[in-house]
Amino acid sequence: MACKHAKIEGNTTKYWVCSLKNKAVDDYTCRNCPLFIHDNTTDNIVNQFLSVFGGNYGR
């Protein structure tokens, strides 16, 4: 998911939350949202990957 409004939450089970709607979303509903803003910066994608797997892996 590559929206500027989506963020990852959860301790053991990670899930996406829309920061505007304050509710859990999946990829399909996020892409069809009228508020979707594409964010594909490399650093943001790496940070999201690392936050999902819970480590910094040498960073």
Check residue 40 and give its pLDDT: 59
Check residue 9 and give its pLDDT: 87
Q: Is the pTM of this model over 0.75?
A: no
pLDDT tens for the chain, 59 residues: list them: 567 888 888 888 888 888 888 888 888 888 888 888 776 555 566 666 776 776 655 55
Check residue 28 and give its pLDDT: 83
**13 CB neighbour count, 10 Å cutoff:** 6
Distance CA 12, CA 33 (A): 27
